[in-house]
């Protein structure tokens, strides 16, 4: 009797603790190894953005050192939060933790995914079933969730936010939201969404990643008065991204897009895309983008970063070098120490 294959171990790149540290006050991502390096690499641009006095610089230095420490502890602390939530949290909407059912998904999304798995399916046929936001930038949009599912998920997220459970930041730029793997929604919601629906869709829209989208990182971000209101331009640590507006009632907060791996300083005439509740925007992770300031209300978005270890194992998308691998919890940042098998494009069931 053969032995079961050992589970794959996922990693992050060591650059996570030194590259792309976001300084919201100055609207800048920086590389940070030492005080001398920071002054040498970023002194002029920091001064041009208001970091002028020695006190300003020392405050920035302290913030960066604190962020590096936070990132170093992130994996272990996230695992501890997930364990505590699993043992002590009582959901308001247990139904959202059930395995993803077709009834939660918009008919248009189901139709597009079903077409993508049909014999002879091609890009032109799929484009008839969704909106092309920008052919040049390869940005698309289509309804993903029903209004009732969005409402149920928001009720659960509200309940969790108001609980006394520990909460981690959804990513390195947003301060408010929820990491779905910590809440226990990865396995029932996000994994089947990726494996059953997004993989066949993305295989036609972005064939360069066909068969390689083997992991994800999913989180919900919240924008509200007195909290995060906007998001500076950036790239995602992902090969592809799905961004779904869940609600609530809001004005403003449009996404804006530049070019693929464009320098933020060169962004001149971005493409703006308004959010529509229940609809998802699909784009490449390397597409420069950000979010305009929220006008009124609250905006909650589900973001799924789709990752391909076969791609990022060769070149880290954040430091643009061969990755220096460090073992991590869960899916890590989608890197592996071994070559992955091709991911099959699953048929709908």
Average pLDDT, the chain: 93
Residues 69, 74, 77, 80, Cα dihedral to 10°: -170
Closest among 210, 227, 216, 226 to 176, alpha carbons compared: 227
Spatial distance between the Cα atoms of 304 and 290, rounded to a whole number of angstroms: 16
| β pairing state of 240-247 and 299-307 | antiparallel
Q: What is the pLDDT of residues 108-148, one digit of tens each?
A: 999 999 999 999 999 999 999 999 999 999 999 999 999 99
Segment among 116-120, 313-317, 335-339 with least mean pLDDT? 335-339
- Locate the domains of the chain by residue range: 8-19+89-338
Listed in sequence order, the DSSP H helices in 194-330 are: 199-205, 309-312
Residue 305 CB neighbours (<10 A): 22
Strands, sheet with 325-327, edge to edge from the N-terminal-most edge strand: 325-327, 10-13, 335-336
Q: What is the pLDDT of residues 276-288, one digit of tens each?
A: 999 999 999 999 9
CA-derived radius of gyration, the chain: 20
DSSP 239-252: SEEEEEEEE-SEEE
- At residue 338 the predicted structure's pLDDT band, cuts being 50, 70 and 90, is confident
Spatial distance between the Cα atoms of 234 and 289, rounded to a whole number of angstroms: 6
pLDDT at 194 over 80: yes
Q: What is the pLDDT of residues 60-75, one digit of tens each?
A: 999 999 999 999 998 8
pLDDT at 179 over 80: yes
The tokens describing 163, both together, are 């609980």
CATH topology of domain 8-19+89-338: Jelly Rolls (2.60.120)
| β pairing state of 255-260 and 335-336 | unpaired
Residue 332 CB neighbours (<10 A): 22
Spatial distance between the Cα atoms of 73 and 12, rounded to a whole number of angstroms: 13
Closest among 312, 333, 324 to 74, alpha carbons compared: 333
Spatial distance between the Cα atoms of 149 and 159, rounded to a whole number of angstroms: 15
Q: What is the pLDDT of residue 224?
A: 96
Counting Cα atoms < 13 Å in the Cβ hemisphere of 235 gives 22
Closest among 219, 283, 279 to 256, alpha carbons compared: 283
Q: Global pTM?
A: 0.92
Mean pLDDT of 150-175: 95
- 3-state secondary structure (DSSP) of residue 212: coil
């Amino acid at each position: 009797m053969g032995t079961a294959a050992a589970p794959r171990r996922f990693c992050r790149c060591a650059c996570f603790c030194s590259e792309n540290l976001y300084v919201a006050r100055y609207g800048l991502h920086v590389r940070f190894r030492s005080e001398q390096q920071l002054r040498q690499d970023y002194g002029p641009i920091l001064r041009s953005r208001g970091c002028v006095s020695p006190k300003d610089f020392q405050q920035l230095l302290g913030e960066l050192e604190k962020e590096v420490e936070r990132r170093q502890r992130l994996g272990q602390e996230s695992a501890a939060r997930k364990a505590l939530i699993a043992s002590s949290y009582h959901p308001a909407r247990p139904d959202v933790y059930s395995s993803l059912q077709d009834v939660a998904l918009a008919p248009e999304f189901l139709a597009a995914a079903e077409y993508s798995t049909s014999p002879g399916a091609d890009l032109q046929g799929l484009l008839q079933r969704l909106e092309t936001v920008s052919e040049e930038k390869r940005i698309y949009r289509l309804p993903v969730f029903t209004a009732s599912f969005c409402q149920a998920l928001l009720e659960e997220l509200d309940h969790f936010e108001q609980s006394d459970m520990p909460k981690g930041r959804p990513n390195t730029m947003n301060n408010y939201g929820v990491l779905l793997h910590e809440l226990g929604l990865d396995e029932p919601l996000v994994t089947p969404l990726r494996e059953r629906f997004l993989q066949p869709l993305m295989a036609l829209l972005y064939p360069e990643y066909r068969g390689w989208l083997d992991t994800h990182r999913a989180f919900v971000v919240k924008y509200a008065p007195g909290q995060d209101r906007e998001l500076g331009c950036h790239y995602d640590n992902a090969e592809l991204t799905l961004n779904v507006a869940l609600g609530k009632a809001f004005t403003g907060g449009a996404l804006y897009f530049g070019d693929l791996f464009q320098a933020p300083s060169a962004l001149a005439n971005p493409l703006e895309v308004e959010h529509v509740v229940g609809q998802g925007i699909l784009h490449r992770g390397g597409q420069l983008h950000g979010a305009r300031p929220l006008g009124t209300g609250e905006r909650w978005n589900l973001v799924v970063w789709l990752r391909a270890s076969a791609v990022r194992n060769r070149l880290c998308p954040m430091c643009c070098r061969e990755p220096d691998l460090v073992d991590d919890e869960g899916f890590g940042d989608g890197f592996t120490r071994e070559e992955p098998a091709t991911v099959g494009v699953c048929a709908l069931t």
